[in-house]
Chains A and B, each alone.
Chain A
Amino acid sequence: MTKPAVELAGVTKRFGDDVVAVKGVDLTVNDGEFFSLLGPSGCGKTTTLRMIAGFEFPTEGSVRVHGAEMGLKPPNQRPINTVFQSYALFPHMTVAENVAFGLHMKKVEKSDVQRRVSRVLDQVQLSKRADARPSQLSGGMQQRVALARALVNEPEVLLLDEPLGALDLKLRQAMQVELKDLQGRVGITFIYVTHDQQEALTMSDRIGVMNEGSLLQVGRSEEIYERPTSRFVADFIGDINLIDVTMNGSNSARLSSGIEIGVPGGGEQAGNQVTLALRPERLALYDLDEAIPAGHNRVKARVTRRLYYGDVYFYDVDAGIGTEIEVKEENRPGVELYDVGEEAYLVWNPEAANVVLS
């Protein structure tokens, strides 16, 4: 079995005396994996990436690449390349010169450089712009040059720091697919930093969610989305209702309105205050006289707002627990609509909820 592409062990980064950018991160990224570091700005994900690249050194801890300890090695001695957020293309060089830079530095033979540069430019469909300056290219093209400039070196690990952040939505979505395909083709380990949860969910094999310097949860996209282990992760990824309840028994809890509901069993003690995380699409509205599926929770609520999104309807409902609850209903043919002020039952399967730490 091959060694993990990147291993971080107890990595902490302090700036000065009071700023702790990264707190004791342990992380293993497998070989050939598309791994995303996801979190809000300032969560330490970029600092983590910079420590892997060698632009920053950890205050404590160890960074290994395919088993080799990186220590205080400068970036030029690491088998890693980076695609920068701002692309950082050399403005005084042509596209081809930009792409050839790394190969020249590695003293690759001239004819070989030419062959590899033209091949990678072909891959990113920029062969025709080889002699252009970066400033003459659109944002999307610059992005592809940055990608080509890194990939041409065939690094063991490719780091990407919000590479699609500056692109508009359509182009970003197209590039997401392209990047994911590309990663599959070249088989290089990608570590992808983003604050866009949708991007992380669609592209990654696994995701690590960071907040305030700590790595909170690592898992496949589905695990992160369906089974968040903390309030932060639940709240950060996608839309979610966070409902404070008091445990009543191992499988039941009481809402603040006093109504008893079923919750997934998780060993929480009766009397404990916990937070229930419920995705809006796991909730449904039923008429007051309609039959509900067996074993489902049923709470009476009043519709306070209805928003039309085209493919879905979003409802805000008041179930008498202080906070409004969001419900997402698919816009199927014949879907029953509820008007503002109308009463309905809020229905969900107890197993669809997650008990997270408050």
Chain B
Amino acid sequence: MTAPPLAAEPETTAPITPELERAAIKAESRRGFLISLPAFIYLALLFVVPLLLVFVYSFATRDATGLTVLDDWNLESYKRLFTEIVLEIFVRSLLLAVVTTAICLLFSYPFAYYIATRSPGLRNILLIFVMIPFWSNFLVRTYAWRVILGSEGPISQISLALGGEPIRLLFTNTAVLIGLVYGFLPFMVLPLYAALERMDWRLVEAARDLYADGWTSFRKVTLPLSMPGVVAGSILVFIPSLGAYVTPAILGGAKTTLLGDYIVSQFLAARNWPFGSALSFAVMFVMLLATIFYFRAGAKTL
């Protein structure tokens, strides 16, 4: 038995004419579309449609009982974005995301560089080490940090044993930062590794040959050429850090509300869906701007 052809194509062995060639090219592109259709449908139903819903809700009104009324369209929710409390939460989240990204970059670059310059066998082992944390649940790993950072935890115990004060990190911004850096480090390491692994090391030799010392040849050659990795890694860390919810919820304190937490509370506790929707859109807008800015800056150095 032979399988039926994918698409009914006029098979011909006649000499080719421009019309026939065009038809063949069309059939080829149609096949490509058919293959990617499942992903298109999935994204349309589960991403585009909900996004549009959120967008529509952001202009709706909340009635006295906390229900959302889908008429009376207005910009009230967007106006509320510029109140002091929102701006404060926003600045705090932004700062945390920037610091998380910076620390991840600072830690990951030397590590990615180290991996990329090892023998191929050792490289794979080190990459597996980077990925091992993914094998266990993120929530479980974040709860583990509660134990480590708690006042009974090992950090505090060590401090006590050395005759110091007990250290209470849990439920502080520092704890959130530690958790975020821990969680997103691999997202920085992998793109950096990919960029450095592609690196033509003969260029570094050329720089050394042309009287650059080790640091200068890094600054003038290696770093600029690994910029695509720096940009990709930074975006992959910055964006989820800005909207992080789980880590701040588990490790952060009540006094340090962050954007993710605040949006969730608008939808659940405060039952203010229009404002929650407007907040979500505002965060997405900032992420978009940051991404464009970062890509531009990264492209310039190349």
Show the binding face of A for B, using Cβ within 8 Å: 53-55, 74-76, 80-82, 84, 86, 88-92, 101-102, 105-106, 149-150, 153
Contacts and interface: CB of A to CB of B under 8 A. Distances in A.
Interface in B237-285: none
B216 to A, nearest CB: 7
Interface residues of B, number: 20
Contacts of B220: 90, 101
Interface string B11-30: 00000000000000000000
A105 B216 CA distance: 9
Nearest to A100: B210
A101 B210 CA distance: 7
Contact of A105 (B203, B212, B225, B301): B212
B121 to A, nearest CB: 15
Contacts of A53: 209
B202 interface: yes
Interface of B: 200, 202-203, 205-214, 216, 220-221, 224-225, 301-302
A75 B224 contact: no
Contacts of A76: 208-213
A80 B203 CA distance: 16
B200 A88 contact: yes
Given A75-B209, A101-B207, A149-B210, 4 more contacts: A74-B214, A76-B211, A76-B212, A86-B202
A106 B211 contact: yes
10 contacts: A53-B209, A54-B208, A75-B208, A84-B206, A88-B202, A88-B205, A90-B220, A101-B210, A101-B220, A105-B210
Interface centre among A76, A81, A102 (most CB of B within 10 A): A76
Contacts of B209: 53, 55, 75-76, 80-82, 150
A74 B200 contact: no
B229 to A, nearest CB: 14
B220 to A, nearest CB: 8
B299 to A, nearest CB: 11
A105 B211 CA distance: 6
Contacts of A92: 224-225, 301-302
Contacts of A150: 209
A6 B241 CA distance: 58
Contacts of B212: 76, 101, 105
B210 A102 contact: yes
Interface centre among A53, A82, A88, A89 (most CB of B within 10 A): A88
A92 B210 CA distance: 16
Top 5 nearest A-B pairs (CB, nearest first) are A102-B210, A105-B211, A88-B206, A75-B208, A88-B202
Contacts of A88: 200, 202-203, 205-206
B205 A153 contact: no
Contacts of A90: 203, 206-207, 220-221
Nearest to B225: A92
Given A92-B301, A92-B302, A102 B211 contact: yes
A91 B200 CA distance: 10
Contacts of B203: 88, 90-91
A190 to B, nearest CB: 15
Nearest to B221: A90
B218 to A, nearest CB: 13
Contacts of B210: 76, 81, 101-102, 105, 149, 153
Nearest to A82: B209
A82 B211 contact: no
Contacts of A75: 205, 208-209
A170 B220 CA distance: 36
Nearest to B205: A55
Contacts of A84: 202, 205-206
A74 B208 contact: yes
Nearest to A149: B210
B202 to A, nearest CB: 4
Contacts of A80: 209
A102 B213 CA distance: 11
A105 B284 CA distance: 44
B301 A153 contact: no
Nearest to B210: A102
A81 B210 CA distance: 7
Nearest to A76: B211
Contacts of B216: 105
A75 B212 CA distance: 9
A89 B200 CA distance: 10
A88 B199 CA distance: 12
A86 B210 CA distance: 16
A149 B205 CA distance: 14
A302 B145 CA distance: 89
Contacts of B208: 54-55, 74-76
A53 B214 CA distance: 15
A84 B214 CA distance: 19
Contacts of B224: 92
B55 to A, nearest CB: 40
